[in-house]
Amino acid sequence: MSEMTKEQTEALIQEVLEVYPEKAQKERAKHLTVNDQSVEKSSKCITSNRKSLPGVMTIRGCAYAGSKGVVWGPVKDMVHVSHGPVGCGQYSRAGRRNYYVGNTGVDTFGTMNFTSDFQEKDIVFGGDKKLAKIVDEIDMLFPLAKGISIQSECPIGLIGDDIEAVAKTKSKETGKTIVPVRCEGFRGVSQSLGHHIANDAIRDWVIDPATGKEFASTEYDVTIIGDYNIGGDAWASRILLEEMGLRVIAQWSGDGTLAEMENTPKAKLNLLHCYRSMNYISRYMEEKFGVPWMEYNFFGPTKIEESLRAIAAQFDDKIKEGAERVIEKYKPQWQAVVDKYRPRLEGKRVMLYVGGLRPRHIIGAYEDLGMEVVGTGYEFAHNDDYDRTINEMGNATLIYDDVTGYEFEEFVKRVKPDLIGSGIKEKYIFQKMGIPFRQMHSWDYSGPYHGYDGFAIFARDMDMTLNNPCWDSMTPPWKKLGEETAIAAE
């Protein structure tokens, strides 16, 4: 299918919406739009961060997923207790592939699952005593754990346990940081509120108590905020910053530690990759400690170059020279990648549907490979994310917010993209429809995709998926037209 006009895309949205009952149709229409770069404010054309409709298949997660899975989970030297029934922790254990360095079970705990395993009696009589006992046990079994975070699951809020009180008493007893996080799954409309709650918990229980801690800072201290080190992303970003002469004093929260979080307010600049999940704490640090923050994008050479220069512009000439040196150094490397893969990927069309940042951040990387993003959407973005998306996307492309399973399938059937990038729940549906698919939440068990090193892997993965010979075998031999059919032997 060739380029769609604005009218065609609008007609497509109308057609897809037709099956819904009137009320649902009216509600869903607000979440689907045709991109128009002349619109300055996304609130004029799209509604976001609203409750999903009952009865549709939404792809969103919950506040617990946002807090434990995204923000807190990767902090490696803390024990994160999934406080409540056992399932929430177990089914989300290590799924996000936040890589880290350390001895698991000794000084790091990233891939382990700690839970208070609520039973009926805990629901009836309250789980505070059990929690206190768990904290003691953790303190005894894992003496090298620097702190504990208590990630509430739904029942904690429902029965009204006072986890803050337990945290305070036990923190005094053990002398360790214990953070109660009120991220019960039923809060908010998606994982987005979980991010906010987790940010607020970091503010109240980590950053504020650590104010005044001594730290030998330099002029070139920066932090990486909102990089979860999926498949090693933060490492691929960090080396670029260090090569240009900056000192990275904290990684939030991929391969991050409690001490790093405490030191963050002493940085000169906070570099924010995932705006959606960590803008709250960045804004707070700007206000309270005067640490400015800026967004950057390390997907694809064009965006990396832009970002490196923008970061360097905040510092003196030494760093500016450093940035140019880094850009120059990696140029042959990424040029070789583009030369190799661009001819194989040129002109391919991609549809994305990811969480809160990638639907706009990865566009540049696809464009560097000569590919075009024809539709994009977020699970849990807010309007400020869509403001930032409008300029990244071409005119008359599709934008969908909290897309339902049905809508996504219909869009794909009509737009016929060559590649889809979305999550694990969508993967097998589209593969069975015969469309190449990449799981863009955890890079389909590959990665890193950030930085110049990541770009090479990104390009290879896209080629590997798109040009896989299996897509030619979608039609069984006996259904192929013009070919001889088998004749039964006499």
If the CB atoms of residues 282 and 397 are measured against other proteins, the closer one turns out to be 282
- In the complex, minimum distance from the CB of residue 294 to other proteins, in angstroms, rounded to a whole number: 8
Taking the complex as a whole, how short is the minimal distance between the CB of residue 101 and other proteins, in angstroms? 34
At its nearest, how many Å lie between other proteins and the CB of residue 317? 21
**CB–CB of 461/444 below 8 Å?**
yes
Asked if residue 306 binds other proteins (CB under 8 A), the reply is: no
31, 62, 63, 459: the active-site residue: 62
Residue with smaller CB distance to other proteins, 40 or 162: 40
Buried b (16+ CB within 10 A) or exposed e, 299-312: bbbebbbebbeebb
Closest distance between other proteins and the C-beta of residue 313, in Å? 10
To other proteins, the closest distance from the beta carbon of 479 in angstroms equals: 50
Q: What's the min distance (Å) between Cβ of 148 and other proteins?
A: 27
Binding mask 221-260 for other proteins (x = CB under 8 A): ----------------------------------------
| 471 near other proteins, judged by CB under 8 A | no
Angle of CA points 186, 192, 194, to nearest 5°: 55
Q: Which is nearer to other proteins, 7 or 208 (CB)?
A: 208
Whether the CB-CB separation of 256 and 303 falls below 8 Å is answered with: no
**Per rule CB under 8 A, is residue 382 in the interface with other proteins?**
yes
For residue 144, how many C-alpha atoms fall within 13 Å in the half-sphere facing its CB?
Answer: 11
Site residues for other proteins, 63-102, by CB under 8 A, read none
Strands 437-439 and 293-295: unpaired
Question: Is there a catalytic annotation at residue 62?
Answer: yes
Other beta carbons less than 10 A from residue 173's beta carbon:
13
Q: Which residues pair with 151 in a beta bridge?
A: 82, 181
Q: If 0-12 CB within 10 Å is exposed, 13-18 middle and 19+ buried, where does residue 113 land?
A: middle
Of 287 and 317, which CB lies nearer to other proteins in the complex structure?
287
C-alpha distance across the termini of the chain, in Å: 45
CB of 21 to other proteins, least distance (A): 28
Active site residue 96: yes
Task: Give the residue, chosen from 242, 306, 384, 409, that forms a contact with other proteins under the rule CB under 8 A.
Answer: 384
Residues 121-150, one symbol each (x = binds other proteins by CB under 8 A, - = not), give ------------------------------
Q: Which of the residues 28, 31, 96, 238 is marked catalytic?
A: 96
In the bound state with other proteins, the residue whose beta carbon lies nearer, of 41 and 172, is 41
Q: How far apart are CA 310 and CA 318, in angstroms?
A: 14
What is the gyration radius of the CA atoms in the chain, in angstroms? 24
User: Can you say how many angstroms the Cα of residue 486 is from the centroid of all Cα atoms in its chain?
Assistant: 50
Report the residue number, 41 or 432, with the smaller CB distance to other proteins. 41
Nearest residue to 92 via CA among 78, 72, 107 = 72
Residue 195 annotated as catalytic: yes
Comparing C-alpha atoms, which of 183, 392, 429, 431 is closest to residue 303?
392
Of all helices (H) and strands (E), which one includes residue 295? strand 293-295
Strand 269-272 to 221-227 pairing: parallel
Catalytic residue among 28, 31, 63, 65: 65
201 is known as an active-site residue: no
Report in angstroms how near the CB of residue 190 gets to other proteins at its nearest.
13
Binding track, positions 26-65, relative to other proteins; x by CB under 8 A:
---------------x-x----xx----------------
277 vs 422, which CB is nearer to other proteins? 277
CA 229 to chain centre: 10
Residue 42 burial (CB count, 10 A): 23
Query: Of residues 187, 195, 273, 441, which has the active-site annotation?
Result: 195
Candidate list 15, 137, 208, 286; residue touching other proteins; CB under 8 A = 286
How many whole angstroms separate alpha carbon 360 and alpha carbon 287?
A: 27
Q: What SS3 state is found at 49?
A: coil
Closer CB to other proteins, 43 or 395, in the complex: 43
Structure tokens at 430: 């589209």
Among 280, 427, 431, 460, binds other proteins (CB under 8 A): 280
Shortest distance, position 48 Cβ to other proteins, whole Å: 8
Q: Rule CB under 8 A: which of 188-217 touch other proteins?
A: 196
Task: Find, among 304, 307, 291, the residue nearest to 252 by Cα.
Answer: 291
| Closest by CA position to 449, among listed 328, 369, 365 | 365
Nearer CB in complex with other proteins: 40/316: 40
| Amino acid letter, residue 417 | P
CB atoms within 10 A of CB 121: 10
Q: How far is residue 154 from each of residues 84, 160, 184, 189, 326, measured CA to CA in Å?
A: 7, 10, 4, 14, 48
287: which 2 tokens? 């206000």
Taking CB under 8 A as the criterion, the residue among 93, 168, 203, 283 binding other proteins is 283
How many amino acids of this chain bind other proteins (CB under 8 A)?
13
Minimum Å gap between C-beta 331 and other proteins is 27
Which of the stretches 123-131, 163-171, 378-386, 431-439 binds other proteins when contact is defined by CB under 8 A?
Answer: 378-386
Q: Distance between CA 206 and CA 172 in Å, rounded? A: 14
Site residues for other proteins per CB under 8 A: 41, 43, 48-49, 196, 280, 283, 286-287, 382-384, 387
Task: Write out the catalytic residue numbers.
Answer: 62, 65, 96, 195
